[in-house]
Amino acid sequence: MAELTSNPVGKNTPRVDAYEKVTGTAIFTDDLPFGPGLYYGRLVRSPHAHALIKSIDISKALEVPGVKAVVTGQDFDTRIGLYLVDRPVFAKDRVRYVGDPVAGVVATSEDIAEEAAKLVEVEYEELPAVFDPVEAAQPDAPLLHPDLGEYKVANFIFPEPGTNISEHFRLRKGDVEAAWPRCAAIVEDTFRLPHIQHVPLEPHVAVALWEPSNQVTLWTSSQSPFAQRDLIAQSMGIPHGNLRVISPYVGGGFGGKAGVSMEVYAVAMARAVKGHPVKLRMTREEEFIGTTVRQALVAHTKIGCDAEGNLLAMETEYYFSGGAYNDYGVNIVRAAGYSCTGPYYIPNVKGDSYCVYTNMPIGSAMRGFGMPEIHWGIEQIMDQLAEKIGMDPAEFRRRNCVKTGDIILTGMKMPAIDLVACIDKVTKAINWGKKEPPSAPHKKRGKGIAIMWKAPAMPPNPGSSAIVRFNEDATVNVEIGAQELGQGAFTVVAQMAAEVLGVPYEWVRVSAPVDTKYSPYEWQTVASRITWSTGNAVKAAAEDARQQILALVAKHWNEDPANLDIKDGIVISYKSEREQPLKDMVIYGLPNENFEGWKGGPIVGHGKFMPTYVTNLDFETGQGPRAVVHYTVGAQAVDLEVDTETGQVEILKIASAYDVGKAINPDLVLAQIEGGAVHGMSSAFEALKFDERGRPLNPNLVDYRIATAADAPREIHGDIVETPLEDGPWGARGVGEHVMVQTAPAIANAIYNAIGVRFNDLPLSAEKIFMALQ
């Protein structure tokens, strides 16, 4: 059990006294760690998609026994945001989507807070709403953020004040207009993807304590403890040293727990009841529309090739529905812009990527970060071009995919990768080119392929740091600020530390939970960057500790450190064949002759990593020497059956292969491939639905159906390609998000191969397929 260090009113930071033996996580029984002084929060949300707030009357809510405070936008004259500071803590002058929080109620129980929230009276004046991003981008569309020009914004994001366009990324390479006449085949089409939700099993939960001393602690399930500390501190006027964020293991993230979503409300409510922690928990319905969603997309894309199958030109416009607030979404759209060709070498490109405010839930980070959205159209067009010139779709991709050393669309030289090897592996795995019979006369069988690329989408200078320290028995504590999401990050960094230090893996412990007061800094656990970035920091910290050990023993033995090594926790000399166990010496040091003094002391290694070479891109052309740190590439092939009597699709096999640079832990890579295949498959059939007034129609797990074990493919095949990355630890690069990027278009291509019908809009529902067959 955990207990309070003092009275629940005042300094009542919980102390953990019991730990689960395997994971090392604290055991919390219900709300006991926070004591009887714990209060509960509920949010009052807008019923309108777009309206002015004329007045808020909280008097009736305050009269309810057990209600301790009600906070509104009038209490906070500030905004919050990551790349674009555009979101008020609580809506103040207007609401911009159904579910926009306008007030927070704090009470002694969740039920009381819920009932009191219903008594908050808000007078609205409805305004015209806009839900489609193309319509919202028009000059005469209702304006959602009249003050856009006044918002603080990152220097690589370019909003267009006076419009609903929060980011416009331009890509210009070569001469597109001159290239079209040289094309033997051209495909032009429009593709649409709906909003979808992350659907973590664990909903968003946060507990905040604002002490009378103005020390603030936030406990939350988060991918971004340090970013949350930074953004909330700036928004709420809290010195960074006074705000502590503690984040245990995350019960499902997928990008939905990156940045700041609902956590700031818990802090805001805690400020009103100083000395009492306030717990805010999202219901499943709130999770769907009150946190964040994947942005919807309308893509107009045109691509052409010559008679030999060489891609010549591409022109595309991406309109992302960023929702009501775009603080994170603008960078998704930027990433889509500088990667707009997909994993292809195309000499002439014109791309425009727009993030557009709409009266929809907040669009933000989701696994893939814009790449599943843009690959949906690109990968179907590639199949159609191959068909037009009579070339096999896999061979068409081998010919045109990016290769090591290519000068890609931004002017950057492509780092070392082998996408052709990925294509070869997946086509072999599903017997590509062999027509196989369906399982029944009323079913049709088809195969499809799609390839992908994705770079870590982030600022040019996101840092990682790590500390490695020894215990008396030579076991090792690795301290990092990166989060464990179930992807195996802690396992991988433990392997890295063990490898460098020369100790058994079992000797290494990774400290948890992440605590911004004690953990080394980490930008965020996003962008599939932890193996690469945090891995480099851990490797550097372990090397620092290793050098200290070897220098100490070399001095003790009067030998050259170059002749020493560490094996299984013992320092050995290849010259004198002497041995020195790490036990005790890594804390107490080594004695001088006749114990006349000592040398050494506690071994603590420090490491950091930050890319220093990413450059700005030209505002007009998107060109620059180094747009991103690197790309991960991969391929997927799908074998499926379509039931012509029902439209139902059954995925028989998904084969995936990714170039991971170096698989530090092959089992974990294959686990990512398996999970990503199911996640990507599920995304092809999911959609958040809204009525004509922007109200959600399926914000629950009954009406919003995700793939279950029963829907999983009969077989999931994974392959690993290893082309070392120049600055990756042992050559490794990330592969967490990439594994679902191209699944949906691979399925669509396989459906076309089976029944001869193409689908430009997701989801691929059985009803839609059945009606097309008629």
Q: Read off the DSSP letter of residue 398.
A: H
Q: Looking at residue 33, what is its pLDDT?
A: 77
Helix, strand or coil, per DSSP, at residue 289: helix
For residue 24, pLDDT beyond 50: no
Establish whether 737 is a catalytic residue: yes
Average of pLDDT values for 565-574?
98
142, exposed or middle or buried, with CB in 10 Å at 0-12, 13-18, 19+? middle
In angstroms, the CA 61 to CA 67 distance is: 7
Listed in order, the ranges of the chain carrying CATH 3.90.1170.50 are 34-127+204-281
Query: If we measure between CA atoms, which residue out of 403, 318, 386, 379 comes closest to residue 352?
Result: 318
Under a CB-based contact definition with an 8 Å cutoff, are residues 257 and 245 in contact?
A: no
In angstroms, the CA 133 to CA 129 distance is: 12
For residue 15, pLDDT beyond 50: no
Q: Looking at residue 38, what is its pLDDT?
A: 97
Instruction: Report residue 35's pLDDT band, with 50, 70 and 90 as the boundaries.
Output: confident
For the stretch 715-771, pLDDT in tens is 999 999 999 999 999 999 999 999 999 999 999 999 999 999 999 999 999 999 999
Would you say domain 18-27+462-609 falls under CATH 3.40.250.10?
no
For the stretch 180-191, pLDDT in tens is 999 999 999 999
For residue 580, pLDDT beyond 90: yes
Listed in order, the ranges of the chain carrying CATH 3.30.365.10 are 18-27+462-609, 296-404+414-459+615-773
For residue 3, pLDDT beyond 50: no
**How many other β-carbons are positioned within 10 Å of the β-carbon of residue 454?**
28
Q: Residue 750 belongs to what H/E stretch?
A: helix 743-755
Average of pLDDT values for 348-375?
98
Q: Which CATH number fits domain 34-127+204-281: 3.40.50.300, 3.30.465.10, 2.60.40.1180, 3.90.1170.50?
A: 3.90.1170.50
Q: Which two tokens stand for residue 503?
A: 């100790």
pLDDT > 70: what percent of the chain? 96
Under a CB-based contact definition with an 8 Å cutoff, are residues 371 and 255 in contact?
A: no
Q: List Cα–Cα distances, 375 to 191, 346, 387, 746, in angstroms.
A: 10, 15, 18, 10
Reported as half-sphere exposure (CB side, CA atoms, 13 A), residue 132 has a value of 8
For residue 44, pLDDT beyond 70: yes
For residue 662, pLDDT beyond 70: yes
For residue 448, pLDDT beyond 90: yes
Mean pLDDT of the chain: 95
Where do we find the tokens 């004509």? 692
702, exposed or middle or buried, with CB in 10 Å at 0-12, 13-18, 19+? exposed
Q: List Cα–Cα distances, 383 to 254, 437, 450, 564, 752, in angstroms.
A: 29, 22, 9, 57, 10
In angstroms, the CA 610 to CA 482 distance is: 14
**How many other β-carbons are positioned within 10 Å of the β-carbon of residue 599?**
11
Report the phi/psi class of residue 474: left, alpha or beta, with left for phi > 0 and alpha for psi in -120 to 50.
left
Question: What's domain 296-404+414-459+615-773's architecture?
Answer: 2-Layer Sandwich (3.30)
Q: Read off the DSSP letter of residue 272.
A: T
Q: Residue 498 belongs to what H/E stretch?
A: helix 489-501
Average of pLDDT values for 40-53?
98
Where do we find the tokens 């911009």? 96
For residue 427, pLDDT beyond 90: yes
Torsion of CA 722, 728, 734, 738, to 10 degrees: -60
For residue 557, pLDDT beyond 90: yes
Under a CB-based contact definition with an 8 Å cutoff, are residues 200 and 252 in contact?
A: yes
Under a CB-based contact definition with an 8 Å cutoff, are residues 705 and 645 in contact?
A: no
For the stretch 257-302, pLDDT in tens is 999 999 999 999 999 999 999 999 999 999 999 999 999 999 999 9
Instruction: Report residue 30's pLDDT band, with 50, 70 and 90 as the boundaries.
Output: low
Partners of residue 649 on adjacent β-strands? 642
In angstroms, the CA 43 to CA 118 distance is: 10
Torsion of CA 305, 307, 310, 315, to 10 degrees: -10
Instruction: Report residue 31's pLDDT band, with 50, 70 and 90 as the boundaries.
Output: low
Where do we find the tokens 């004259």? 77
Q: List Cα–Cα distances, 500 to 367, 441, 578, in angstroms.
A: 31, 59, 20
Instruction: Report residue 11's pLDDT band, with 50, 70 and 90 as the boundaries.
Output: very low
For residue 1, pLDDT beyond 90: no
For the stretch 385-405, pLDDT in tens is 999 999 999 999 999 999 999
Annotated catalytic residue: which of 167, 315, 379, 737?
737
Count of all residues that appear for the chain in the document: 774
In angstroms, the CA 333 to CA 745 distance is: 20
Average of pLDDT values for 44-68?
98
Where do we find the tokens 């002084």? 37
Residues 6 or more apart whose CB falls under 8 angstroms from that of 519 comprise 225, 479, 480, 481, 511
Average of pLDDT values for 112-130?
98
Q: Residue 170 belongs to what H/E stretch?
A: strand 165-173
Partners of residue 189 on adjacent β-strands? 301
Q: Tell me the one-letter amino acid at 506.
A: E
Q: Tell me the one-letter amino acid at 12.
A: N
